[in-house]
Structure 1
Amino acid sequence: MTTPDTGRVALITGGSRGIGYGIARALVARGDRVCITGRNEESLKEAVDALGPERAMGVAGKARDEAHQAEVVERVMDAWGRVDHLVNNAGTNPVFGPIAELDLDVARKVFETNVVSALGFAQRTWAAWQREHGGTIVNVASIAGVSASPFVGAYGISKAAMINLTLQLAQEMAPGVRVNALAPAVVKTKFAVALYEGREEEAVRRYPLGRLGLPEDIGGAAAFLTSDDSQWITGQTLVMDGGLFLNAGVA
């Protein structure tokens, strides 16, 4: 079967594996072209090869590096002349422990990568294409941003900031650009492996739907929020938790 061609282009940060790659796969499958970013050039090349070089390209670099942000948007515009969808998925969580003892330099790194880089990419895609032509932005947040998140507090605070950034951008960029966020619970990725490895059966008991999330779950939601089927939705955060919050407060 021939893959359709929507003529649309998506830029997905942190797209070489995990949730970002799951989103890239979903958008390529429906006919978009995608540019994915990541820090590891080899992983990025493998992802592009798997997605199909005719529909995908990769640009290696650190999301918080402004020169990298500029290069990515420039290369997308040079290659395809447009950037309809931005998915801010790049993130880091380099520390595990109480926030009262958090090294402030680590906190700054978390915010630079998880929040400031998302704003930077949004500003650049807005200036390059979306201000004049419209489009969508999807920010990948986390349920850690809508609840207390013991031992990953800096990550949780940064994801709460991402949710508010979503509101600010949605208000400012309307009506041409719709901006929404996804807030997943634990998804089975290398990034989250410490949260379930060796005790997945125990972790799953907390989820009414009986399993942890998969990258394709998030990919499907991102595909919806970047499609015309969601054209009356903006400024929203979709919690994707397998029913986890249904058990809040249950002994």
Structure 2
Amino acid sequence: MTAPQDSGRVALVTGASRGIGYGIAEALVARGDRVAITGRNEESLKEAVERLGADRVIGIAGKAHDEAHQAAAVERTVEAFGRLDYLANNAGTNPVFGPIADLDLGVARKVFETNVISALGFAQQAWKAWQKENGGAIVNIASVAGLSASPFVGAYGISKAAMINLTLQLAHELSPGVRVNAIAPAVVKTKFAQALYEGREEEVTGAYPLGRLGQPEDVGGAAEFLLSERSGWVTGQTLVVDGGIFLNAGVG
């Protein structure tokens, strides 16, 4: 396969050693971007870099909610590639399954720290290091759980609703130089979402008008569009990528 022509653009994708984050990084590398990816597990990150292409990709291990890691990831990206045009905030967690009436507040804080505050931290760092003077674009990975009630994953849903509003705030404040949008996927076949379909995939899939669950490349393609000049007049939007599941809202 012929290597893509270098686009001259650079992206940082958080939580990208697998799943949706990997799908985003893969789409950006395929079009010729140089990409830095982050993840908690150094070994998994190293493997992802090798698969994506170590000549175009670097990995930076660390915990998304760690401010020192946020700063280091942005700094290393700029050092390695000389710029930072795009940021994809994908790192997230959902460590609990059950009603929020019984939710341990410490767990709720952890969910918000990782899913919302870390995204703000990475955006601040990218803005200061490059985007304030040079422009760029940011994509935040939200969820359809942030657009409606989400039984048993309520803390996650609340955090993703906050992520959608964070997108609006950043889009307003960072314009005109930086565009900020979000993507709200439904169930995507990843290890992260396994509990939502494992053992009953046929039943879950039956609710989707398009007849299948999402794949990481579905979100990767949407992110690639939003992190490009083809979406140059789009900001503050949340793109729902859901296989049509919301078409069934209110039915029955």
Q: Write out per-residue CA displacement over residues 207-240 of structure 1, whole angstroms, 9 at most, x where no aligned residue.
A: 0000000000000000000011000000000011
Indicate the SS of the match to 2:151: coil
Question: Which amino acid in structure 2 is aligned with residue 130 of structure 1?
Answer: Q
SS at the partner of 2:49? helix
The correspondence of residues 8-19 of structure 1 with structure 2, limited to 5 A, is 8-19=9-20
Consecutive unaligned residues in structure 2, runs of 5 or more: none
2:77 counterpart residue number: 76
Q: 3-state SS of the aligned residue for 1:178? A: strand
Shift of 1:80: 1.0
Where does residue 37 of structure 1 map in the other structure? 38
Q: Following TM superposition, by how much is the alpha carbon of 1:4 offset from its aligned partner in structure 2, in angstroms?
A: 1.1
Structure 1 residue 101 and structure 2 residue 102: aligned?
A: yes
Q: Which residue of 1 aligns with 2:209?
A: 208
User: Counterparts of 1:162 and 1:133 in 2: how far apart (Å)?
Assistant: 24
- Per-residue Cα deviation, 1:86-116 (whole angstroms, up to 9, x for no partner): 0000000000111011100000000000000
Q: Does 1:198 align with 2:199?
A: yes
TM-score of the two chains, using structure 2 as the length reference: 0.99
Name the CA distance, whole Å, in 2 between partners of 1:240 and 1:198. Answer: 23
Task: Point out where structure 1 has 5 or more consecutive residues left out of the alignment.
Answer: none
CA deviation after TM superposition for structure 1 residue 249, in Å: 1.2
- Measured in 2, the distance between the counterparts of 1:75 and 1:247 equals 45
Counterpart of 1:52 in structure 2 is 53
The 1-side partners of 2:215 and 2:173 are apart by: 32
For residue 77 of structure 1, report the CA deviation from its aligned partner: 1.1
Structure 1 ranges of 4+ moved more than 6 A: none
Where 1:20 maps in the other structure, the secondary structure is: helix
Partner letter of residue 102 of structure 1? L
Aligned to 2:156: 155
Give secondary structure in 1 for the equivalent of 2:160: helix
1:205 & 1:77 partners in 2: Cα distance? 45
1:2, 1:49 → 2: CA distance? 15
What SS does the corresponding residue of 1:190 show, helix, strand or coil?
A: coil
Tell me, what secondary structure is at the counterpart of 1:121? helix
Deviation at residue 2 of structure 1 after TM alignment: 2.8
User: Counterpart of 2:220?
Assistant: 219
1:88-237 aligned within 5 A: 88-237=89-238
Residue 198 of structure 1, CA deviation: 1.0
Instruction: Name the amino acid aligned to 1:198.
Output: G
Please give the alpha-carbon distance, in whole angstroms, between the structure 2 residues aligned to 1:3 and 1:172.
34
